[in-house]
Each structure stands twice: as C-alpha cells, then as structure tokens.
Amino acid sequence: MKASIIIIGDEILLGKVTDTNSGAIARVLDPAGWQIGDIVTVGDEREEIAEAVERALKRSQLVITTGGLGPTKDDITKGVLTDIFGGELCMNHEVTENIRRVFALRGLTLNPLTEAQALVPSSCRVIQNRYGTAPIMWFEKDGKVLVSMPGVPFETEGMLPEVAAAISERFTPDSEVSHASVMVTGITESALATRLEGYEASLPTGLHLAYLPQPGLIHLRIDGIGAKGAGVSERVAEAHRRLLDELGDLAILDHEASAAQLVIEVMKRRGLTVATAESCTGGNIAHRLTMVPGSSEVYVGSIVSYANDVKINVLGVKAEDIEREGAVSREVVEQMAQGALRVTGADCAVATSGIAGPGGGSAEKPIGTVWMAWATATGTTSRVFKFPGNRSRVIDRASTEALLGLLKLT
C-alpha cells in the first residue's frame, strides 16, 4: 500500500531548517510494508497545503503531514484540514488538559495563544501528544487516512511508535518489504558495480540492489518487495548470503553501519580501547564515536587541542617542533597521537591536525591539508590528506578517514 508524506513549513522551503521528520517517518513505515511514493515539502500557504493534501489523498491510502501546528500565526494547517475533512474547530478539553500538563512540567504559565492549540476539527480523532502541546490529529475519508503530526522533530519522533501502532491496527498491508545491507571498502562504486553485474542479473524478480556510496565506504542494500507471506524475506536473506560470498574480504560488515559504528563494533570484537587527539576535526571524531550507544566500552576520550598551548601542555607536543614544522605537520600529529595514548592509557589513538578553512591556508599547506597519525604501543603511522571543499566538508572527510584508518590497525 502507498503512503505519502507532506512536510509543511516556510523554514524548510527556504533552506533554514533541514527536514528530518520525513526520514523518521519513512524509517517506521517502510519496514511495516508501506511504499512511500513521495515526500512533498510546501510552505505555510493555505492553497499550497490544500493542493498537496488533496493530491496525496488521491495517490495514497495513508498521508502523514508534519508541521504547521504551532501557536503562532504562521500556522494554518488546522484550517485547511477542517476545509478538506469537514466539521468545525472546537475546543477539546483533553487537549487543554495536556497543554496544561506540558506547561506545568516545563514550569510555564498558559496564555491565550497556547490555549488555542486545543482547538481541533470536530472531524478528527485526537492522539494526545506526550512530548508537546500540539495535538496529533487522525482524519479519515473514503477509506483514506491522514495523520497530522507536529513539526518539532523531537515530538514527532517521540510519538511515531504510538501513531505507527494505530496505523497497523487500521490497515493490514498486503505487501511485505525486506532489506539487507553489506558495508564495503577498498573499491570504487563503478568497479564494484562491474564486479557485481552477474550477481545483479541473477537476482529474482522483486529484488533490487542499491548502491549508497559514502566517503571511503559503500553501503550496498538489497531491497525486496512481494505479496505478504510469499517468502520475500527468505529470498532477501538468501541473496544477502550470496552477496557476502561474492564480496569476500571487500565486505567489512554484514549490516548497515556508519564509520563510527564500524570502529566501535570492530574494536569491541578485538577487545581494544580507543582515544583521539583532535585539532582540525575539533571534537567531531569524539562526537561521532560517542553518538554510538555502548561506545563507552571502547572509547575513553579525546584531547581536543585546538590551541597550540593545549597540544604542548596536555599532549606533550614539543614547542620547538610546532615552531619549526608548524602545527600541521607529521612531527606534531605523531606526537599528538602518542600523547593521547600516554595521557588516556588507551590501546590505540588517532590524531588530526589540518587546515579546515576558510582562513589559514598557504601555498605550501593549502586549505584541506590534514595530517593524521595512528598510534599503538608498537608503533605510529602517519599520512597527509588534501581534502577538497569547505570547512564543514574538510572536517567531515577528515573525521571519516581518521575512523577508517583505525580499522586498519592490527
């Protein structure tokens, strides 16, 4: 069965805010057997919202909208939905109670604008929002369902399990969807595609191989769809086994993982602890590793030595080497990695020192120059990279290479 997602908000159309709600919704609907046909983002304009909703209701059995439910004047979704589904805006006492509860928890007092959030179309069923004040509204018309959710990602993500359960109760999808992933390194996307031509041609109907390249990694995903109970997940599992055989050592993991998750999984398996010493990556490697639940079993911490004094005083880098070679140099980054091992007591460490821009570049060391060193008790290796792109890209790419380099330590 088909589903459509509509994201409402000028801030997203203008590129001021990145939409993450559609992804969160998709990650819940897809495994439940829904095919997401499209995601449409429209601004806070009555006609645009109305047109997007009418169109989605034609295309799909299920429509989920997010946004346009706040207490301020630029939020008009409720009026549009009342026009489409009928009824009139009425004060809902349970919603009022919920708003009072949320405000009390936050230690705030109510005002008339917030109270207006309790006005809901009489044509909808309310699912109480346990994470905020905007009510979740469930509409039905001609066998189609529209669920209106809040724009705040935290509220929508928090309420998704409850909304998904209500959807499962209402619909019994007639198709089944299954996915399996392999993470690959050490080969380009096109060389991999050439190598897998025969494998792809051999895939049974309903199965499809998708390439999702990331810097230094390729995520291969087998997507399967078929009638419910017709063995789709078994066929995907079989294709997954064959893919792993076909890839041999190129496959580093048999499920989806980010570079940081790979490091945590592989190091946990090897029983090793990790530390970082970061200059140009400024804590991003530490952040990525510590976003992985359970990372504390592997990761002990980082010295983010942004200033040279911190490199010298905390990591023990020699001031004369910074003076002579510059902070972005093999000598300095190797001392940083060794210093991180020493002060944290970890089994392995990676250090970064580079020029992320927009300032600081020179002819000899242009923006994007990043020195990295990986150290263990038995030795230190180092390498210089030249990354293209802006500050954020240089930091991101350098962090990924630093992580992937840890996987090569033995």
CB of 314: closest distance to its own copies in angstroms?
A: 6
Spatial contact of 130 and 95, defined as CB atoms under 8 Å apart: no
Near its own copies in 222-281, by CB under 8 A: 223, 256, 273, 276, 278, 281
Select from 120-128, 161-169, 233-241, 308-316 the region that touches its own copies (CB under 8 A).
308-316
User: Which member of 33, 67, 68, 70 binds its own copies (CB under 8 A)?
Assistant: 70
CB nearer its own copies, residue 122 or residue 313: 313
359 lines the binding site for its own copies (CB under 8 A): yes
362 binds its own copies (CB under 8 A): no
Which is nearer to its own copies, 90 or 113 (by Cβ)?
A: 113
Interaction mask 37-56, its own copies, x per CB under 8 A:
xxxxxxx----x---x----
Binder among 54, 97, 200, 234 for its own copies (CB under 8 A): 200
| CA 60, 127, 83, 20 torsion-angle sign | negative
Contact flag: residue 204 with its own copies (CB under 8 A): no
Is there a contact between 289 and 263 (Cβ–Cβ < 8 Å)?
yes
Q: Considering only residues 277-296, where is the footprint of its own copies by CB under 8 A?
A: 278, 281-287, 289-291, 293-296
Residue 121, SS3 per DSSP: strand
CA atoms within 13 A on the CB side of 38: 12
Q: One symbol per residue from 95 to 114: x for binding its own copies (CB under 8 A), - otherwise; what is it?
A: -------------x--xxxx
140-199 residues near its own copies, rule: CB under 8 A: 152, 154, 157-158, 188-191, 193-194
Q: Is residue 330 close enough to count as binding its own copies by CB under 8 A?
A: no
For its own copies (CB under 8 A), the number of binding residues is: 103
H/E segment holding residue 370: strand 369-376
Phi, then psi, of 367 in degrees rounded to 5: -55, 135
Specify whether the CB–CB gap between 183 and 253 falls below 8 A. yes
Find out whether 192 and 184 touch, Cβ atoms under 8 Å: yes
- Write the CB contacts of 78 (distance below 8 Å, at least 6 apart in sequence): 68, 69, 89, 119, 120, 121, 137, 148
